[in-house]
Structure 1
């Protein structure tokens, strides 16, 4: 029996080895789900962290970083709503030296609604897979791999992950109270792994109309707030706004319109919220054009502007990277200081904020190398 058993075991072992690489039912790529990068990315996506609800993802980041021998400091950021749990910015570095030359930073919050994690071959789907948990995970892994290889040392690089970027930027604004400064800050956002040389500015506004309710059969006895608002919106859609060679046209998006309660009731209240992406000049110039246009519509409307900023210059002087200009906003204007700033990350903004947000495994892996190159350049 012993003579029969040995050949049987040899045959079995050869079958296992052969099928490990040839069985079409088990793609080799699937084994990569166990890499540190993909495990971290998956864990971050699986935690719902819509703006204002970043408590759990922040807790996970602290746990992860501490377990990987980072020194971690947290900073409380006021809750958006009274019924929400505390949320915190997370600052981390290696060793005892809090002050570093370079900072890697991204945001842990995402836009609604939550979409769960899903893997389809080389693609990873889910809310935040692109914006910006792809950047967050690849920044951490790039730091860890460089540090382990001796490419960076204590005092070279820190990590900062903030809350609230998708709403008011309150996390990064609060980070100004950390009392820190850096020579270079590398911001993580989806740039298709190109270096952004700049992004548009932004301002926002809300237009409110107050009418008089009544029965729709007797419109002369009331005043329709919707009818007051619509001419102003139509005029804004046709107004000429500033443009530039680099950033193109200033664009205006009527994001939300609300008004009235029923078809047979004269609408007493109506309002619209608008976002404007600025291609040239300060927000005050665009705001004046908008206000003049609304006033010419001839209705009594209340207009409230939100704080904004003009186009943002970003450094892009690193060899080996393509460059791009982006139309979205970032936390770059919210972080005070005289530092070089770079904007880079995996994934496309065209997939972010959508129900088909996804990123490829290969892009995540490439972004790790991209961040390493940017870190090395910043420390020259």
Structure 2
């Protein structure tokens, strides 16, 4: 499906959209008001748009490239204000800056656009999208990379809950209770992955040019990107309500680098079980795109045209691009204005000059992929 790109947005309208989106709170699960404002931006400019069953804002058009970013944010009330050319507010960086920049570029160039919901938790918007529409020719996912950076790789994600129970006993007894079992298990898990990382990566130096590509560079987190990271995110335990047992649970998350699998991580974790059991959630696989794809090349050219020195990045976290790469066999990358160090931070803010440059880069990329 294609629609003509005969409406010019302009820097002022793009910035107005950005401010409106940041001013409308949209923590995960409460994205509707923000989605309606985004949809109105397309309706006012004559574009077909709808909010689908999942809550995604979908503006189908030229599928030479799909521009997509997320509407939801993590919780947190940061007063919205403009200071010295910077917009402060929750979501200004993650990811309403990329979202607004993509909406403006989609209007200017006539390419397809989707604003998805739920990225900060279960990615329900992206999961619905890959099941509900055909594969586009290319994808640009919206997350902060800095206006002169483009992200080609993300680690995958695996989570699970460990649970253990022991009979209650007097605390003077020497036998370990469930809380101690859970603590010992987690220490063993951390040790197992620490040993694997040290064996595989004895040096902590960052990589040089990625894949030898001109203008390509690895981010400073390169050694971390290539390792499994194990992290407990919630630990609870105590005497059960009936007083007959001591129970403990650990919510754990694992980041999966390219070259590793969820099955391999599960095996390592389960090898450390002496008691208790683990219930695993559905994993998200890692992704590493080539810097030689037409999408990566278009970004390098576009960033240079706007006066930047392109940086090719690999991120230690996980994004919706992982799901798109698993479902669709097309070139893709992640891009957006903003310093990712400010993701979820209490001082989250976005440089508006960088936002304007990102819109220009996205327009160039979209036009290049259309040709």
TM-score (norm 1): 0.76
State the number of aligned residues.
316
CA contact 2:156–2:322 (8 Å) conserved in 1: no
1:116-155 alignment runs, 5 A limit:
116-144=79-107, 147=108, 152=109
**1:223, CA displacement in angstroms?**
6.6
1:100 corresponds in structure 2 to: 63
Q: 1:267 to 1:132 in 2, by over 3 A?
A: farther
Question: What whole-Å deviation, never above 9, does each CA across 1:13-70 have from its counterpart, x for those lacking one?
Answer: xxxxxxxxxxxxxxxxxxxxx9222221111112121111112111222222212221
CA contact 2:64–2:137 (8 Å) conserved in 1: yes
CA contact 2:285–2:323 (8 Å) conserved in 1: no
**1:99, CA displacement in angstroms?**
5.6
2:49 is the alignment partner of 1:62: no
CA contact 1:187–1:344 (8 Å) conserved in 2: yes
Paired with 1:379 and 1:60, the residues of 2 have a C-alpha distance of: 27
Paired with 1:113 and 1:271, the residues of 2 have a C-alpha distance of: 27
**1:188, CA displacement in angstroms?**
0.6
1:81 corresponds in structure 2 to: none
1:339 corresponds in structure 2 to: 330
Moved more, 247-256 or 311-320: 311-320
What SS is found at the alignment partner of 1:289?
Answer: helix
Paired with 1:205 and 1:349, the residues of 2 have a C-alpha distance of: 26
**1:304, CA displacement in angstroms?**
1.6
Question: What whole-Å deviation, never above 9, does each CA across 1:322-356 have from its counterpart, x for those lacking one?
Answer: 21111111112323222211211111221101212
Q: Which one of 200, 205, 208 corresponds to residue 160 of structure 2?
A: 205
2:115 is the alignment partner of 1:161: yes
| Structure showing greater Rg | 1
**1:196, CA displacement in angstroms?**
1.3
1:228 corresponds in structure 2 to: 181
Q: Which one of 344, 347, 352 corresponds to residue 343 of structure 2?
A: 352
CA contact 1:260–1:266 (8 Å) conserved in 2: no
1:24-43 alignment runs, 5 A limit:
35-43=12-20
2:296 is the alignment partner of 1:306: no
**1:115, CA displacement in angstroms?**
2.9
Higher relative contact order (CA 8 A, sep 6+): 2
TM-score (norm 2): 0.78
2:49 is the alignment partner of 1:72: yes
Q: 1:126 to 1:266 in 2, by over 3 A?
A: farther
The alignment yields a C-alpha RMSD, in angstroms, of 2.5
1:80 corresponds in structure 2 to: none
Moved more, 53-62 or 244-253: 244-253
CA contact 1:208–1:272 (8 Å) conserved in 2: yes
Question: What whole-Å deviation, never above 9, does each CA across 1:67-106 have from its counterpart, x for those lacking one?
Answer: 22211122112xxxxxxxxxx111114xxxx563211100
Which runs of 5 or more residues in structure 2 are unaligned?
Answer: 1-10, 202-206, 208-221, 305-309
Paired with 1:241 and 1:52, the residues of 2 have a C-alpha distance of: 38
CA contact 1:201–1:278 (8 Å) conserved in 2: yes
